[in-house]
Every structure is written in C-alpha cells, then in structure tokens.
Amino acid sequence: MTRTPSPPELRLDSQICFAVYSAAHAFAQAYRPWLEPLGLTYPQYLVMLVLWERDGRSVTELAQPLQLDSGTLTPLLKRMEKAGFLTRGRDDKDERITRIHLTDFGQSLRDQARRIPAAMLCHSGMDLNRLTELREHVQELGRTLRQA
C-alpha cells in the first residue's frame, strides 16, 4: 500500500496548537532547575504567583486566573498544604467557601522566586520586548479561542 504524503495543513509542524503545546512543555522543563530548590513544581509555582498577588482567595477566585477547574486545583492545593506552602480553611462568613492562605514559609519563597523571571528571560534567548509581544499575541489567541 502506497501512502500519499499528508497535505501541508495536516502536518504536525504546521499546527499552531502543537507549537504552543510544545513551547509550554519546554517552559515547564526550563523552569524545573529554578523551582526544584524552592520545592515547587511548575503548576504549584503558578498557584503561588496568584497567591503572592493576593492572599486569602477562595478556591473559585484562585481557579479563575489559572483557568483550572476545582477537580484539578483541589488535589494540587492539598499537596501544597501538606508541603507547608499554604493552608485551606473555611470562610468566616460563609462556611461553604474555602479560603487559601499562604503560610509564612509560602510567603518567604516570594523573595527567592524574584530571580526566576529574569533567569527565564535570559534562557529564552529573546529580548524583553519580543517576549512581551509574543505573550500579548498568545494571550489574544487564548481569549479568541475561549470566546469561539
């Protein structure tokens, strides 16, 4: 049986979805040497970034910027609580709401994490303007796809 070559639009290297997926995987790998000394995985680092912006968020308020559902986020938060990064507790006014608070240890990692963005900028081989432009295009693409 003779196989005909795939048309260009069906080639893996022609797919924007694969390019973004592959880059995301490369990012997670590139972050690893910077996050391991802090005891964080890449998904945990993303949670910490959101909590460093504003501590005491509800699980729903935390899930929204991370674009995660509670079924994915809750096990991640449980592991982070066990590791001592955060605590989970009931809201004082509404016991149905779970609030997430950083521990002193979790807060202390913020200073150590400050060097990570600059290190990743250097690791990328791109200048800040180019990376900023790329981020804006990828964010726009994500917004467009979510609205479709």
16-46 pLDDT, tens digit per residue, is: 999 999 999 999 999 999 999 999 999 999 9
User: Does any domain span residue 4?
Assistant: no
Residue 20 belongs to a domain:
no
Residue 90 lies in a domain: yes
**Cα torsion angle, 78, 67, 12, 42, sign:** negative
**pLDDT (average), residues 64-77:** 95
Q: Residue 82: give its domain's CATH number.
A: 1.10.10.10
Tens of pLDDT along 111-140? 999 999 999 999 999 999 999 999 999 999
Say whether pLDDT at 148 is over 90: no
Domain extent, residue 114, equals 28-131
Global confidence as pTM:
0.89
Bigger pLDDT: 2 vs 83: 83
Identify whether the C-beta of residue 80 lies closer than 8 Å to the C-beta of residue 86.
yes
Judge whether 141 lies within some domain: no
Flag whether 15 is in a domain. Answer: no
Does residue 140 sit within a domain? no
Rg (CA), the chain: 19
Domain count, the chain: 1
